[in-house]
Amino acid sequence: MSHIDLRDFLKQVEAKGELRKIDGANWDVEMSSIVEVIYREGKHPKPALLFDTIVGYPRGYQALFGVLGSTWRIAKTLGVDDTDVEPMSLANSWYTKSKDITGIPPRYVKSGPVMENVLTGDKIDTLKFPVPRFHELDKARYFGTAHAVIQVDPDDGWINLGTYRVMVVNKSTLALHATPGKHGNILMYEKYFARGKVMPIALAVGLDPVLWWLPCQRDTPWGISEYDAAGGIKGEPIEVIKGEYTGLPFPARAEVVVEGECHPGEWVDEGPFGEWHGYYGNRGLLSVPEPVIRVKAIYHRDNPIFTCSQPAVPPHTFTLMLAVADSVAIRKRLEAFGIPGIKGVWAHYTGSGGLFNVISIQQLYSGHAREVGLIASQYPAEMGCFTVVVEEDIDPSNMDQVLWAVCTRARLDRQIQILTGCHTNNVNPAIPLKEKRSSDKAVPLTAARVIIDACRDLSWKDDWYPIARVSPELRTQLIGKWKSVFSGLIA
C-alpha cells in the first residue's frame, strides 16, 4: 500500500512536485475560481491546490482541490504503474488490474485520527470548516463536493458510498441532492421514505483518494460496497469506526465526518449549483426541494483538510478522473457482452467523462462496429450523448485522429444512428427548463443518443485509399537519428 490516508498521499504528491500551496484566499468564490482558471487554462500536469490561512479561518484549516487531477495521482491512488501515465496507458493499466480485484471487507476499529475532535449539541457547526461558495451564481455554500455519502440498505445491511452534492442550510442542517437512478437516491426514496422510515446518513470528507474515486464511479454494482472494493484495490482492509448515532461505518482516517439523519417529508430549497457539465442543469437558477440532513455529530482531525472539487465548464478538477473511470467501465461492459476485438476506449474530458466516448476495435465481422456502438451508447445510463467507433489504427484518446476518422471514413447517410427515447435525468442541460419543471416520476425525462460508425467498410477495406503518414519504421529511424531535434517536443 503506497499511502495510508490523504495526508500520507499529499506528502508523495508534494515530493513529486504536483502540490501548490496558496495562502490568503477567500472561501467565497475566490478559492474555487482560482482552481477553475488553472484547470481550464494551465499546463499539464495540473497540480493539487492546497489553500491555507483562508479568510475568516485560522491557519491550519485548509481546503484542498484537484486531489485526482493528474494521471500520476490517479495511478498512485489505484496502485498501478506510475511511470507510464499517458491517458491510454493509464486506462489500460487500470483496466487490467480492475479485472482481477477481489474485494476485502473493512476492518472495524474503536477509534482513529478523525476522533481527535468531537462536536455534539450546541457545538455542532458545519461552517467551522472553510466550506466554499463555488460559483458566482450559487446561492449557498456546499459542504459536499469531494466526499462520500454513507448509507446502509435496511434490508440486507449493504453499505453504499456515493458522491452526491450536499448544501449547507445552517450550522446544524444540510441538504442532500442525489439524482434519480443513483444508488443513494434509490436507497433514500425506495428503502426509507416510501416506508416512512428515518434514514441514517454519514458524510466523510478528506478521504484516502481511493475512497473518493469509487463513490464517483458509475461502475460499482448494486449490493457491492465501495469499502470492499477499496480494500481490494489497496490490498488490505479500510479501517472504519461504527458511528455512535447512526451505526454506520465511517473511515477512521478521514479528515471530517458528519453523522445525521433524514426524515421523510422534511424538505428544504436546495441550489442552484453549477454542475459538472458546465451548466446550472437541474432547474436552472431555481431552488428545488431536497431532503434535509439533521446533523447529530461532527468529528474531525486537528488542522483538518477540507476536500473540494470544482465542477464547471470542462476541463475541471475531476474530468480526468471520470475519463479514466468511464473508459474502463465501458470496456468492461462490452467484454461482458462477449464483444471481441476491443483495442481501447476513451471517454473524453471535454464531454465531462462519459458523454463523448470513443471505442477502438479490430473489425472482425459485418455489423461489428454497429454492435459495439449500440451497447456502448447506453453508458452512462443517465446521460450518454455521443459514441464513436473507430478502427485499431486510431488512438481513441487523440481527438484529432478521431475527428479525421469521422470525417473521412463514415458514410454519413449510412453510419450515423440516432437513438430516441433513452433514459436521462434532470441534470441534462439539453432539455428545456419548462420540460424539467413540468416532469414528475410518472412522466420520466428521455433524450437521444448518437452512434457514429467511423470504421471503413469491411466489404472493400482492402482496396481503401492509401493513407499518407509516416510509417512506424521510418518514425523510429528519424527519432534515433534526430534525437536532439525531437527532445522535449514529443512524448
Report if residue 93 sits inside a domain.
Answer: no
Burial degree of 336 (CB within 10 A; 0-12, 13-18, 19+): exposed
Report if residue 486 sits inside a domain.
Answer: no
Q: How far apart are CA 92 and CA 293, in angstroms?
A: 40
Residue appearing with cell numbers 507510464:
84
Element (H, E) at 269: strand 267-270
Residues of the chain falling short of pLDDT 50: 442
Same domain flag for 170 and 214: yes
> What is the crossing angle of helices 6-16 and 71-78, to 10°?
140
The domain containing residue 439 runs over which residues? Answer: 319-458
Report if residue 334 sits inside a domain.
Answer: yes
364: domain CATH number?
3.40.1670.10
- Residue 296: per-residue pLDDT: 98
Strands 356-361 and 386-391: parallel
Same domain flag for 286 and 187: yes
Q: How far apart are CA 464 and CA 458, in angstroms?
A: 10
- Residue 353: per-residue pLDDT: 57
Last residue of a domain, one of 308, 337, 371: 308
Of 239, 254, 244, nearest in space to 297 by CA: 244
207: domain CATH number?
2.30.110.10
Same domain flag for 334 and 286: no
Report if residue 89 sits inside a domain.
Answer: no
Q: How far apart are CA 343 and CA 283, in angstroms?
A: 40
The pTM for the full model equals 0.90
Same domain flag for 174 and 233: yes
Sheet holding 62-65: strands in order across?
Answer: 19-23, 48-52, 62-65, 305-308
Report the C-alpha dihedral over residues 64, 216, 187, 109, rounded to 10 degrees: -60
Of 259, 179, 163, 245, nearest in space to 212 by CA: 163
Last residue of a domain, one of 308, 343, 365: 308
Q: Are 346 and 363 in contact (CB under 8 A)?
A: no
How many domains does the chain divide into? 2
Same domain flag for 221 and 334: no
Residue type, 263: H
Half-sphere exposure of 323 (CA within 13 A, CB side): 29
Same domain flag for 180 and 296: yes
Last residue of a domain, one of 308, 335, 357: 308
Q: Are 91 and 328 in contact (CB under 8 A)?
A: yes
Same domain flag for 363 and 417: yes
Q: Per residue in 121-173, pLDDT tens? A: 999 999 999 999 999 999 999 999 999 999 999 999 999 999 999 999 999 99
Report if residue 208 sits inside a domain.
Answer: yes
Report if residue 79 sits inside a domain.
Answer: no
Q: How far apart are CA 454 and CA 412, in angstroms?
A: 9
Q: How far apart are CA 344 and CA 92, in angstroms?
A: 8
Report if residue 76 sits inside a domain.
Answer: no
Q: How far apart are CA 319 and CA 301, in angstroms?
A: 29
Same domain flag for 271 and 346: no
All three cell numbers of 431, joined, read 432539455
Same domain flag for 267 and 385: no
Report if residue 409 sits inside a domain.
Answer: yes
Q: How far apart are CA 10 and CA 31, in angstroms?
A: 19
- Residue 381: per-residue pLDDT: 61
Angle among Cα 281, 285, 286 to the nearest 5 degrees reads: 100
Same domain flag for 245 and 358: no
Same domain flag for 202 and 328: no
Q: How far apart are CA 155 and CA 409, in angstroms?
A: 52
Same domain flag for 353 and 245: no
All three cell numbers of 311, joined, read 465542477
Longest distance between any two alpha carbons in the chain, whole Å:
78
